[in-house]
Chain A
Amino acid sequence: MPSKLKQIAQLQLILTEMEEDLGIKDNSTIEKRVLLALADLSSSDEAVATNDIMDHELIYGFSRPSFYRALLVLEEQGKIRKAKSIRGFYALSTE
């Protein structure tokens, strides 16, 4: 059974790569929520503290690791950026 699960996981990995290459990979629910929370909290180009995003009601129920992973993914995708030289502040990407 574990080998069968491994094969399914491999297949899913291959198809996820295909989705990425075709540019149709969706962001996960937590990633969408983080983006929406940041958009809700930020006015103009203002930076938002990570703690404030985490306390937003859209983020309620998600674990801290999932939250930070989502921040990282969104930053890598260029949808958000670190806003200040000090850590813990994010802003929506202007690109």
Chain B
Amino acid sequence: MKEHLNNFLIVSIAFIVANSVTLGFVLPLQSLLLSGSQLEIGLLFLPHGVRILSFYFFGWRAIFYMLPASYLFMLLTNGIGANLDTLSPVVSMVACYVGFVVGSVLITGQKKQLSFRIWKFFVVVGAISSLFNGLALSWLQHSGTEIISIIGYIIGDVAGLIACLIILMYSFRLARLAGSEDSN
């Protein structure tokens, strides 16, 4: 139980930070630069990176770890003028997880995982997961599959995932360099 609570806290903090940056910085910048874009679709959606890493490390339990923070940000996003459906956090999480599992099975089935570096595996699986997410959210938000919005979700999610990995890479790199400076 304590382990689940720890995981929940870690995932929630990461998800809240990623969402805050997206909501407080990326979306305002996006609406400033691309006035015609929809607020419901972030073109650099950092939480997708947190989602994929959480699915990788915690499996299906990650859905429950992320749901409360996901609902919190649905309310906040709607507060600034978006119109997200009440079910969108659940639908999005489940669709992403199903996409993650399907992507993992597809890659593992083709035995390509040996030639795949894991971070590249994340990007491919993240894109498949995002396709499922896009299809589900598009169906929920627009009662049908809108190609433009699905492409928007995929671009935003994959770009967010890559940005998330780069941010983590530089964080670890900084920590390592700071550590080696201290030891000299």
Closest to A4 in B: B6
> Does the CB pair A18–B180 fall under 8 Å?
no
Size class of the contact patch on chain B? 10 to 19
> Does the CB pair A17–B119 fall under 8 Å?
yes
* Count of chain A to chain B residue pairs whose CB atoms are closer than 8 Å in the complex: 39
Q: Which residues of A contact B3 (CB under 8 A)?
A: 3
Q: Is there a chain A Cβ closer than 8 Å to B57's Cβ?
A: yes
Size class of the contact patch on chain A? 10 to 19
> Does the CB pair B117–A21 fall under 8 Å?
yes
- Name the distance in Å between A83's Cβ and chain B's nearest Cβ: 29
Q: Which residues of B contact A15 (CB under 8 A)?
A: 119, 165, 168-169, 172-173
Q: Is there a chain A Cβ closer than 8 Å to B101's Cβ?
A: no
> Does the CB pair B177–A18 fall under 8 Å?
no
Q: Which residues of A contact B53 (CB under 8 A)?
A: 11
- Expressed in whole angstroms, the Cα–Cα distance for A7 and B117 within the complex equals 17
**Which of A7, A21, A28, A29 interacts with B119 by CB under 8 Å?**
A21
Q: Is there a chain B Cβ closer than 8 Å to A72's Cβ?
A: no
- Sample 5 A-B pairs with CB under 8 A, ordered by A number: A7-B57, A15-B165, A15-B173, A21-B117, A28-B180
